[in-house]
Amino acid sequence: MTRSIRAALPLAALLAAGCGGSGDGSGPSTGDARAEAPAAERVVASVVTDALDAPWALAFLPDGRMLVSERRGGLRIVAPSGATRAVRGAPAVADADQGGLLDVAISPEFARDATVFLAYAEPADGGARTAVARAVLDGDAIRDLRVIFRQRPALPGGEHFGSRLAFARDGTLFVTLGDRQRREGARDLRSHLGKVVRIRADGGVPPDNPFVGRADALPEIWSFGHRNPQGATIEPSSGALWTSEHGPRGGDEIDAPVPGGDFGWPEVGYGREYDDGSPIGPTSRAGVVEPLHVWTPVSVAPSGMTFATTDRVPGWRGDLFVGALAGRTLVRLDVEGGRVVGEQRLLTGLGERIRDVAESPDGTLHLVTDSGRLMRVEVR
């Protein structure tokens, strides 16, 4: 498979350019415009609470309360009213640079098992590594914490942990893992660097993983050639995993990792080197899976993301919403038939680094920002 660019243009610009629904894979196509979707100026965000400390992720409990991780190690429950309570029992974390307490996810069987999952930078001999733990949420505490996955190897430094969690329909758990700035590791199947892995909820390896049985590969690996994927969610209509990934200078991607898929890093991509601005490499190569969408030449630094699954806001059902850090915006990607066919940038006036986006049980989008805000997205 070859990689073909999905240009990062606002939806209106794509329409004005006359990009039709050719479906030939040579560039973005808009299909039929969804005129009923609200204009960007009608989309606003109201503060639920601004008392959080560097929040990194949020996950909704069935009753509408939110479980929020804070990068420096805190875990909080936030009520819809904005009232917050600290949750005791979070694991010790390597709080340095991009490391800390990162993603939080709710068990698909939460109503029965009250289990939550945490991804975090774990202190270890040699530095730190991404770890995933499961625990039982019991009132204002988590108990019975058990680590079910540890990235290998542990390394010094505090960058590129990845660490998003997404449960597949079959109950298996996807974990995104950054390259820890050891780019050569992204292509080494004997390490977890720069990979997406798939494990069972107890930490075991699903027998249908693509590299099971190979002596030269770790069996948890689902896909490889990733740089720093900080977003992950399941596409509702297909059940496929979608991820967001940071490029170096430009070349941020939306991908759909497939079993055994090679996503190119560091040999193929749209980004450029930090030191001299030279291209990372070619933008396509036989055998490398193409991205669904690319931001180039300017990075938006995509982070957490979610699909809208209801008609609460007309025109949004099935679309992907991506928080952007450097871009300081909420990106709406118009998705049709598994393809990104347009882009709209929302909440640009906030000036906030949007770290994560989640959909509440009633279909309302919520987001957290690096400044400590949890906000509800509304339409005037």
Residues marked active site are found at: 160
CA distances from 89 to 85, 180, 346 (A): 13, 27, 36
First to last CA, the chain: 43
In whole angstroms, give the CA distance from residue 27 to residue 31: 12
The two tokens of residue 80 are 């819809």
**C-alpha neighbours within 13 Å on the C-beta side of residue 347:** 31
Q: What is the 3-state secondary structure (H, E, C) of 243-284?
A: EEECCCECCEEEECCCCCEECCCCCCCCCECCCCCCECCCCC
Q: 266 φ, ψ to 5°? A: -100, 20
Phi, then psi, of 264 in degrees rounded to 5: 95, -35
CA dist., res. 216 & res. 144, Å (int)? 34
Can you tell me the distance from the alpha carbon of 228 to that of 160, in angstroms, rounded to the nearest whole number? 5
Task: For residue 311, give every residue at least 6 positions away whose Cβ sits within 8 Å of its Cβ, in sequence order, or none.
Answer: 317, 363
Show Cβ contacts of residue 36 under 8 Å, excluding neighbours closer than 6 positions: 314, 315
Q: Give kind and range of the element (H or E) at residue 11.
A: helix 11-16
3: closest CA among 212, 214, 330, 271? 271
> What does each C-alpha distance from 56 to 73, 99, 107, 181 come to in angstroms?
10, 11, 18, 20
